[in-house]
Amino acid sequence: MAAVYKSLSKSAKKAEDTENDNNITTNGGFRKNKQRVLILSSRGVTYRHRHLLNDLAAMLPHGRKDVKFDSKSKLYQLNELAELYNCNNVMFFEARKGKDLYMWFSKVPNGPTVKFHAQNLHTMEELHFTGNCLKGSRPLLSFDLAFEQEPHYRVIKEVFLQMFGVPQGARKSKPFIDHVMSFSIADGKIWVRNYEIREVEKAKGEKDSEGNDIVPESDKSSSKKRKGAPNAELKDTDVSLVEIGPRFVLTPIIIQEGAFGGPIIYENKRFISPNQVRSELRKAKATRHNARVEQVKERLGKLETLTAQAKKEKDVLDTRELFA
């Protein structure tokens, strides 16, 4: 009887320990960051849009690429598609008129959804950046202080954290951090850059920024060994940032409360649609053309009036009058 009680108490204790571990990993301070991103585009994307999508998909080891989405009006169907692929983030590239690109960042299934207008797109292959990083490595996310000043920027920052922040232990991810993604705000736009963290050991006899001589590595290691730490080594390295790409600029348009739907909780009043910009340019060209046409009409009208007056006023000495 005592053996049965002992075995039952052990099983109950093990079940309680597993329950506590689950609570710690899901609800406590050590919550696991389980994020998966569905990356797809609409019909009509250009080669530059497609290359940008491939670059971002290569940077996100926790992402999943999918085929092109046919509809541009029924975006709520992306929620079912994300649920089908077990993704809780959606990055959707919407192309308009073969030249404009809109990027949708959404949290599935409860939202929010942020719509951006992407400009100044430059891919990794286009600019031939000298930087490089390990494929699948986890990035450091650097945000401007302006993200904490406005409430809509705080929402965008949280969406970026869950979208571009590679969770630890994600599939195809490497346990290295060798590049930095920078998000800065200027002129109401979000400028996205990607940099490599390059560490180069300083050569012997180099001087630091203050002009002091750098102690050679051999002297440092010998001094360390004399101090009683034989396994520790001091290394002086120069840390610099080299741009990798891609780079692009995002203009926030609206923020919706739900996932691809719901009420609009923020709208950018300063945003001007590219269609309106092109329309204003066409109107400006049209006004110049109309002004030139009016000048030609006015000149022809003056010529007609002058010829009519000359016909009415007959000259007595005209040969046609003399020899009529």
Residue pLDDT, tens place only, 222-234: 444 444 444 445 5
pLDDT at 297 over 90: no
Query: Are 103 and 116 in contact, with CB atoms under 8 Å apart?
Result: yes
Residue pLDDT, tens place only, 58-96: 999 999 999 999 888 889 999 999 999 999 999 999 999
Residue pLDDT, tens place only, 138-155: 999 999 999 999 999 999
| Percentage above 70 pLDDT, the chain | 76
- Among 101-105, 242-246, 300-304, the minimum mean pLDDT is found in 300-304
pTM: 0.71
Cα 248-100-144 angle, rounded to 5 deg: 25
**Mean pLDDT to the nearest integer, 185-212:** 80
- Among 111-125, 160-174, 245-259, the minimum mean pLDDT is found in 160-174
pLDDT at 23: 40
Between residues 27 and 261, which one has the greater pLDDT?
261
pLDDT at 8: 55
pLDDT at 107 over 90: yes
- Among the listed residues 124, 7, 97, the one whose alpha carbon sits nearest the alpha carbon of residue 43: 97
- 151, 155, 157, 162 alpha-carbon torsion, rounded to 10°: 160
Instruction: Give CA–CA dist 203/282, Å, rounded.
Output: 60
Place of tokens 């939202």: 111
pLDDT at 196 over 70: yes
pLDDT at 57: 92
- Under the banding of pLDDT at 50, 70 and 90, the label for residue 263 is very high
What are the backbone dihedrals phi and psi of residue 250, each rounded to the nearest 5 degrees, phi first? -115, 130
What are the backbone dihedrals phi and psi of residue 289, each rounded to the nearest 5 degrees, phi first? -65, -45
- Under the banding of pLDDT at 50, 70 and 90, the label for residue 26 is very low
pLDDT at 72: 80
